[in-house]
Amino acid sequence: MNKLSRSDPRYKYRLLEIELISDIDKTSDEKLIADAIEDGLDSEAISQEFRLAAMNLLAQSRRKLFAETKIKLEKSKVTVDKTPVTRPSIEQMKVRIQALFANKPDLAIAFRNGASQSESDWVTLWEDLVEMGIIKRDDTNN
Amino acid sequence: MIEQNENLDLTQRIEFAIAGYSSIDFLRLYRKANYLLPGTGLVTTIELFNEALVRTLEGTRKWPQNVAFEAYIWNAMKSIADGYRNLQSNKEEILSTDLIQSDDDQAIDPIAELGHLSLAVDDGLIEQEKRQQAEIDLTKIENYFKDDDEVTLVIMAIEDGISARDLCSSYEMTTTKYETARKRFRRGIDRLFPGRRKS
């Protein structure tokens, strides 16, 4: 209660408030219920009101969190899509992959001989090798 | 109260704590929180409870893991009520433009006034409004008990820091009469500030 003068109504009320709260702390459950009944209060209804208020706020908070997470995920997805794909030319790809197969014959087993593939097959194979970490994603060097 | 699980997230912790609250716990919280309303401008205890929960969920108030929800929410509500009554200092800094304009040969050193919260114009107006709000509610209380001499004495004793024993001996009041007057005081406040909107 610093800053307040004794003549400040808030200071005076604070003194009353402390006593009133202390009285409730000392009041038994039975007396509390009896007083509520005397005042026409339904303790179950009061309890429900508090519970409902809390549940509504929790639901709101969860919806907000869900929406925020969704936005974050969408943003990160867009970022990935926007990343430009860098690959060497088809001819360079063929040379690099064939050299790779020559060094690692077991890898070639997964590929259909490599003799008469379409361009898209080469690109797909390149991407598969990038995914497997055998070739670096941004590797455009000869 | 149900024991808290440290692995729960905040919403789960609150949900868990609320589930462990009995109707008597809520009734006690409701009664106590009603006494926080005068001077705040708030009408219902639910408004205060909601505000405490919203601030907790938004992270502006932290509920420490080792503190029981009962104690945490009560202190949060008390602190928020104090804020509404402008009893907590939010602003530590005052700009030079906030200073009162006066003559150069003034007796008061303007530098010494820096940091004096009452000099900020907006703060001053808010302070005045909050004081008036408290004045209205206090007058309401005094008027409600004006015909009850014993309760008036109890109020006066609390405000002046006079003990129950001293009050009883000075005014020849028996302990029973004092206790009854004090109960009338509390019950009167309960009716004066019911903490709920009339349906």
Q: Would residue B4 count as lying in a domain?
A: no
Per-state percent for chain A, helix, strand, coil, to nearest 5: 70, 0, 30
- Give yes or no for a contact between B158 and A16, defined as CB atoms under 8 angstroms apart: yes
Query: CA-CA distances (angstroms) from residue A105 to A102, A122, B4?
Result: 6, 17, 59
From first to last of its 199 residues, what are the pLDDT tens digits of chain B?
Answer: 445 566 788 999 999 999 999 999 999 999 999 999 998 889 899 999 999 999 999 999 999 999 999 999 999 999 999 989 877 644 433 333 334 444 444 444 444 444 445 556 677 788 888 888 888 989 999 999 999 999 999 999 999 999 999 999 999 899 999 999 999 999 999 888 887 765 5
Contacts of B85 in chain A (CB under 8 A): 10
| A-B contacts (CB, under 8 Å) | 121
Its domain, for residue B142, covers 118-192
Phi then psi for residue B19, to 5 deg, are -65, -30
Domain boundaries, chain A: 9-82, 90-132
Examine the fold and report which residue of B69, B84, B99 is the final residue of a domain before the chain moves on. Answer: B84
CB B195 within 8 A of CB B33: yes
> Residue B42 falls within a domain, yes or no?
yes
Query: Does B106 reside within a domain?
Result: no
Distances (CA, A) of A141 to A25, A96, A98: 78, 10, 15
CA-based nearest residue to B194, from B72, B46, B11: B46
Q: Are residues B123 and B78 part of one domain?
A: no
Check CB contact under 8 Å for B14 and A54. yes
Residue B113 lies in a domain: no
Q: Is residue B107 part of a domain?
A: no
**With contacts defined as CB-CB under 8 Å, which chain A residues touch B189?**
16, 20
Q: How many domains would you assign to chain B?
A: 2
Rounded CA gap, B162 and B178, in Å? 13
- Rounded-to-integer distance, Cα A51 and Cα B50, Å: 11
Tell me if B94 is assigned to some domain: no
Q: Does residue B197 sit within a domain?
A: no
Q: Is residue B1 part of a domain?
A: no
Single pTM value for the model? 0.67
Complex prediction ipTM: 0.77
